[in-house]
Amino acid sequence: MTDDAVIKKFTRRVPHWRPRVTPVDLGEATEAQRDAMKVTPSNRKVSDYILTLAHDPESLAVRSPLFNAIMYHDGGLDRAGRELGAVAASIVNRCVYCAAVHAGRMPDDDASRAAIDEIFGKGEAAVLEGRAAAIFAAGLALSRAPSAFGPEHVEALTEAGVSQDEILDLVLSVALFGWANRLMHVLGDPVRKDTP
Amino acid sequence: MSAPGEILALAGLGGGTEAAAAVAQRGDIFRMVEAAETAVLCPAEPGGLPIPLRGRLAAGMAEAHGLPELAAHYRARTETMGDVALADGLEQAVAAFAEMAAMRPRDATGGDIDALRGAGLAEPDIVRLCELTAFVAFHIRVVIGLRVMEGQ
């Protein structure tokens, strides 16, 4: 195992994730672990990431529905805004895997493609326009440690037409990726797909 | 207290504010946030990470972000639970890891995980520790976001 395989640069191509701890062996999983992983007779393909998190089934069981509620509930901030918040957090925390996955969930339009090109090329120094600029700046600031999120970010979002409800959705998606990045980037490495 | 009420209290906000109205519309999400807090802070199976230790680690992260009320909340939920001292080197290794996860997660490497393993932490406990620090990083940012939204 060489570390040459570890991907350090942001990329649209979703890497393979290589865990730094031994994932749970599906054949030996407890009932609580199988429940948390949602293993059913028709769903027996479980990723190494989920098998790794299954070491803590209580957390895994509650996090998955919360993740879906924050990222994919109806109404509020649009898909592009929430995914851009997720990408901003992943840039600050340098989670190459999360950035690739969530860049891929941005809408398939010219504006989103241009924004991701700019972000993956320049990182935190990326220059975006209008509403996307306000969302990205807020996402970067809230993700820093300690957080640098301040009234100027709320003001810029409000001026860009983002409502209070939508700002809360952005806070939730950015914060959620402070969580996800600390699992994905801390517990494993993004590697090229053909790496064992 | 209801879940929306709880998160507002942690952020030091009353009802009747704009942030409170936004939170009220996301009651299902904040109920799940509370369940997630219980899972990392006071789990039914704490494994090799005693509950009061979890509270101390979480409180330290909140304090590093200038949130003494949140730190006090974590302590209040955990300090009366039975404590078990970890071996000296292990408690230090766990605290150092939590500090890294809180403040410099971008710099995380395999060496950070190896250090925990080398200090004697079992692999399931390494995942439990990551879930704890990751959740607290989330919780801190939700509280900060609400305070800033409300101009505090």
Domain that holds residue A19: 3-70
B12-23 confidence digits (pLDDT tens): 888 788 889 999
Instruction: Examine the pLDDT at B121 and tell me if it is beyond 70.
Output: yes
Chain B interface mutation, best of A56, A72, A157, highest count of B Cβ atoms under 10 Å: A56
* pLDDT attached to residue B19: 86
Give tens-digit pLDDT for A60-75.
Answer: 999 999 999 999 998 8
Residue A23 has what pLDDT? 97
pLDDT value for B12: 87
Q: Identify any residues that bridge with A190 across adjacent strands, giving them in sequence order.
A: A17
- Average pLDDT over chain B, rounded to whole? 93
The per-residue pLDDT for range B64-117, each reduced to its tens digit, is: 999 999 999 999 999 888 777 888 789 999 999 999 999 999 999 999 999 999
Crossing angle (nearest 10°) for helices B110-118 and B88-103: 160
- pLDDT beyond 60 at A2: no
Task: Write out chain A residues lying below 8 Å of B133, CB-based.
Answer: 182
Distance CA A149, CA B125 (A): 32
User: Which two three-digit tokens encode residue A75?
Assistant: 């109404």
- Residues A20, A112: one domain? no
Asked whether residue A131 is assigned to any structural domain, the reply reads yes
Task: Please give the tally of structural domains in chain A.
Answer: 2
Same domain? A24 vs A60: yes
Q: Mean pLDDT across the stretch A146-160?
A: 97
Tell me how far apart the alpha carbons of residues A63 and A69 are, in angstroms, rounded to a whole number: 10
Find the mean pLDDT for residues A105-132: 95
pLDDT at A111 over 60: yes
Residue B7 near chain A (CB below 8 Å):
no
Return the half-sphere exposure (C-beta side, CA atoms, 13 A cut-off) of residue A44.
5
Predicted confidence at residue A195, as pLDDT, reads 62
- For residue B135, what are the contacts with CB-CB under 8 A and spacing of at least 6? A59, A179, B36, B37, B39, B40
Residue A1 has pLDDT above 60, yes or no: no
In a domain, A143, yes or no: yes
A156 in contact with chain B, both atoms CB, cutoff 8 A: no
Q: Is the pLDDT of residue A118 over 70?
A: yes
The whole-angstrom distance between B22's CA and the closest CA on chain A is 5
Q: What confidence score (pLDDT) does residue A196 get?
A: 58
* One-letter amino acid of B95: A
Interchain CB contact of A189 with B (< 8 Å) = yes
Contact B149 A186 (CB under 8 A): no
Report B:20-79 residues touching A (Cβ under 8 A).
Answer: 21-23, 25-26, 28-29, 32-33, 35-36, 39-40, 43-45, 47, 64-66
Task: Return d(Cα B60, Cα B56) in angstroms, integer.
Answer: 6
* pTM given for the model: 0.96
A91, A122: one domain: yes
User: In angstroms, what separates the C-alpha of A63 from chain B's closest C-alpha?
Assistant: 6
- pLDDT at res. B4: 82
CA distances from B2 to A55, B8, B24, B105 (A): 30, 10, 10, 32
Residue A157: pLDDT above 70? yes
B97-112 residue pLDDT tens? 999 999 999 999 999 9
**The pLDDT value given to residue A3:** 66
Domains of chain B, earliest start first:
3-149 (1.20.1290.10)
Which residue in chain A is spatially nearest to B108 when comparing CA positions?
A186
Look at residue A146 and tell me if it is in a domain.
Answer: yes
The whole-angstrom distance between residue A11's C-alpha and the CA centroid of its chain comes to: 14
Interface pTM, i.e. ipTM: 0.96
Its sign, for the CA torsion B1, B6, B8, B13, is: positive
Residues A64 and A79 placed together within one structural domain of the fold:
no
Q: Please check whether residue A143 touches B, CB under 8 A.
A: yes
- Taking contacts as CB-CB distances below 8 angstroms, the residues of chain B near A22 are 123
Kindly state whether residues A61 and A85 are assigned to the same domain.
no
Residue of A nearest to B130 (CA): A183
Q: Which of A173, A195, A174 is nearest to A69 (CA)?
A: A173
A183 pLDDT exceeds 60? Answer: yes
Task: Please state whether the peptide bond connecting residue A146 to the residue before it is cis, i.e. omega within 30 degrees of 0.
Answer: yes
Residue A128 pLDDT greater than 90, yes or no: yes
The answer to whether residue A33 scores a pLDDT higher than 90 is yes
* Mean pLDDT of chain A, nearest integer: 94
Output phi, psi for A189, to 5 deg.
Answer: -120, 145
